[in-house]
Amino acid sequence: MNTTYDIKPSVHIHEANANPFHLSAICAGLEEEGIPYSIFKANGDAVYLATEAASRSKLRVGIGITTKSAMLQTRNNPIDIQTSDITGDGQDPILYIDLSDSTANSKCRALGTNAARAVKGGIFI
């Protein structure tokens, strides 16, 4: 796990006390698609973490994950972290997962896969 921001291009994952199973599922999705990632400890909610991760990633793609939720964001899809309420107001993230769901692990893997596809310009699953 990194403590400083990378020079190499990678998807940034900012995590705040994330469940290790959810985090490793996200990483597996990225690895499956062959896209490098870097994990950073951070504080905040998933919206803030993903927005910050995308802004710091040379690949322009970031993931934020907490104990409650995970989110995929790109720098090309700006989000107002002050007004976003994850309810369809036009300012919402690309993907948002409620981690209390029983299918959270498979959704986390799909989030990782979709983050990789956002880098490559592919179709989301």
pLDDT: which is higher, 3 or 111 = 111
Q: What is the DSSP string of 7-41?
A: SS--EEEEESS--HHHHHHHHHHHHHTT--EEEEE
pTM of the complete model = 0.86
pLDDT tens column, 14-57: 999 999 999 999 999 999 999 999 999 999 999 899 999 999 99
pLDDT tens column, 54-106: 999 999 999 999 999 999 999 877 655 544 555 444 456 688 999 998 999 99
User: CATH for 11-120, among 3.40.50.10150, 3.90.420.10, 3.40.50.261, 3.40.50.920?
Assistant: 3.40.50.10150
Q: Where are the alpha helices (DSSP H) in 1-125?
A: 20-32, 46-56, 104-120
User: Any idea where the domains of the chain sit in the sequence?
Assistant: 11-120
